[in-house]
Homo-oligomer: A and B are copies of this chain.
Amino acid sequence: MTIELYYWLGLPGRGEYARLVLEAAGAPYREMAQLSSEEGGGMDAMMGWLDGRQGPFIPFAPPFLKDGEVVVSQAGLIAAYLGEKLGLAPQNEAERHFARSVALTTADFVAEVHNVHHPIATGLYYDDQKEEARRNAEQFRAERMPKFLGWYERLITANPAGAGFLVGGRMSYADLGLFQTVEGLNYAFPRRMETLGKTVPRVVSLCRRIAAEPMVKRYLESERRQPFNEDGIFRHYPELDGA
């Protein structure tokens, strides 16, 4: 049965963390919200899950995934589920567990990125919380970005496999999650990333290698890859950026 991915239309968002694993593995999947109702998809099909019409496994929010009887929500967990199923996860048990921890920490980092432009309320517009966003962005650039990116750098450095990945000796969903996050940060905070990138050369190198992986490259060059925009998590508001 083909894997079904449910996510909002018009932004890469958290759905991209699932999509990248599916694409890197070359797995067939159906992007449900983009399909018509005749094809079993559409927004109403997605909302049917969220309001309980589709069964007792009610996700709190997109993205979520249906694979046969299994329903998984939460971007980091979906990536882990797919990575482990599709061969993009470490084999060793301890590494498998730690890769999950890394992917979920990335999900926390992404939530902090969202809080930068929506520190007061997700339900309010950015314009209604611009001044607070400016203050949040200051500490995010000064403290949180170096802390998270420095942590990834240390993981790569400490990884005994020595192959330049976060966990284990080959590319996993944890690496793909870092890649997407760094891409998003490059879009949202280009000035900050230019200075910060120099301090995390292993992270930069890993992201470059991931972009060049044949399956990933093919996806990034396809029409399926959606650009970042100011409806998503990673938003480029120049007033929130700074070296």
A residues whose Cβ falls under 8 Å from a Cβ of B = 52, 55-61, 64, 69-74, 76-77, 81, 93-94, 97-98, 100-101, 104-105, 108, 111, 115, 119-124, 132, 135-136, 139-140, 143, 148, 151, 154-155, 158-160
Contact = CB atoms under 8 A, between A and B. Distances in A.
Contact of A72 (B64, B97, B121): B97
A56 B104 contact: no
Q: Count the copies.
A: 2
A64 to B, nearest CB: 8
Residue of A56, A119, A158 with highest tally of chain B CB at under 10 A: A56
A118 B97 CA distance: 30
21 contacts: A52-B154, A56-B159, A57-B94, A58-B158, A60-B105, A60-B108, A61-B105, A69-B94, A70-B94, A71-B98, A72-B98, A73-B101, A73-B104, A74-B100, A77-B100, A108-B111, A119-B120, A119-B132, A119-B136, A120-B135, A132-B135
Given A58-B151, A155-B58, A93 B105 contact: no
Contacts of A120: 119, 132, 135-136, 139
Contacts of A73: 101, 104-105
Given A76-B104, A120-B119, A98 B57 contact: yes
Contacts of A69: 93-94
A109 to B, nearest CB: 9
Given A55-B158, A76-B104, 17 more contacts: A56-B158, A56-B160, A57-B94, A57-B98, A57-B101, A60-B101, A60-B105, A60-B151, A61-B105, A74-B105, A77-B101, A77-B104, A115-B115, A120-B132, A121-B136, A121-B139, A122-B139
Contacts of A124: 139
A139 B159 contact: no
Nearest to A104: B74
Given A56-B160, A74-B105, A94-B57, A139 B111 contact: no
